[in-house]
Structure 1
Amino acid sequence: MSGVGATGAGGAAGLQQIIALRQQIIDRSALLQQVKDPAAAIGTAQGVAPAQPQGPAGGFTDALQSALDSVNASQQNAEALSSGYEKGEVTDIAKVMLARQQAGVAFEATLQVRNRLLSAYQDIMRMGV
């Protein structure tokens, strides 16, 4: 029965990470919406958008960099837990598997974003002037 309690605590931490990732996605989506339609963003944010003088390129690069850093941290965490499990330092296999799944999902999402960006770039390069 003690394994169930440990798994529940690990699951709660994993759930908190998933909720944090969801919030990051929502924040980035709002940022991208501001870039796409600044007039609508000013109306909904009520003056928050003009406080960003660096422009959309800085916001996008920062968002992309933070997303990549988050994916990298997730993969490093999964590797550390897997290594600890192999050495016998970590005994909660559910925690290890959850970290590996989170890293896998984060990597797949990053790969899909890369594919979409590459496709958009290729479409733009094919446009006639």
Structure 2
Amino acid sequence: MSGISGIGGGAGGVQQIMQMRQQIIQRNDLLKQLHSTQGADATAVAGPAQTQEPAQGFADTLKNALDGVSSVQAKADGLTEAYQKGEVTDVAKVMLARQEAGVAFEATLQVRNKLLSAYQDIMRMGV
């Protein structure tokens, strides 16, 4: 049963990823608005005031998501080690924990790839 509760923790990770996705979409919309604005004064005034606070929230969200993945992997490693020592006999519980850690890592890798791609797209934009 504790393996099932671990999956619920993965749902929290999915929620965090969805929040990060929403923040990326909002920033993209903001960049489109700034890009379409013709006046340089409007860009200078609107840019810094709106981007500082979400950046801090995004960083916190990303850190929390990475901490969650790290804890899932540590739990899986602990269960694997306990199984190897003979302390845990439920192989299904161990395999479920390993699978959950693998899925969490893969999701993190995909988010990293998307963030890197978005960063590269932004760096290619003409100013």
- Fold equivalence (TM over 0.5): yes
2: CA distance between counterparts of 1:37 and 1:28? 14
Deviations 1:32-91, CA, capped at 9 Å, x for gaps: 6676779xxxxxxxxxxxxxxx71011100000000000000001000100110110111
Contact preservation (8 Å) 2:3, 2:97:
no
For residues 31 and 128 of structure 1, the distance between their equivalents in structure 2, rounded to whole angstroms, comes to: 22
1:16 alignment partner in structure 2: 8
Residue 28 and residue 77 in structure 1: after superposition, are their counterparts in 2 closer, same or farther (change >3 A)? Answer: same
Cα gap change, 1:117/1:32 in structure 2, threshold over 3 Å: closer, same or farther? Answer: closer
Conserved? CA contact 1:78–1:100, under 8 Å = yes
Higher relative contact order structure (alpha carbons within 8 Å, sequence separation ≥ 6): 2
Q: 1:122 and 1:28 mapped to 2: Cα distance?
A: 18
AA aligned to 1:122 is Q
Cα distance, 1:128 vs structure 2 = 1.4
Q: Cα RMSD (Å) of the superposition?
A: 2.4
Gapped regions of structure 1 (runs ≥ 5): 1-8, 39-53
Residue-pair matches, total: 106
Matches within 5 A, 1:15-54: 15-25=7-17, 28=20
Q: Distance in 2 between matches of 1:123 and 1:92?
A: 47
Deviation of residue 25 (structure 1)? 4.5
Counterpart of 1:109 in structure 2: which amino acid? A
Pick from 105, 108, 112 the counterpart of residue 106 of structure 2.
Answer: 108
Q: Structure 2: how far apart are the matches of 1:31 and 1:121?
A: 14
Percent of aligned pairs with the same amino acid = 58
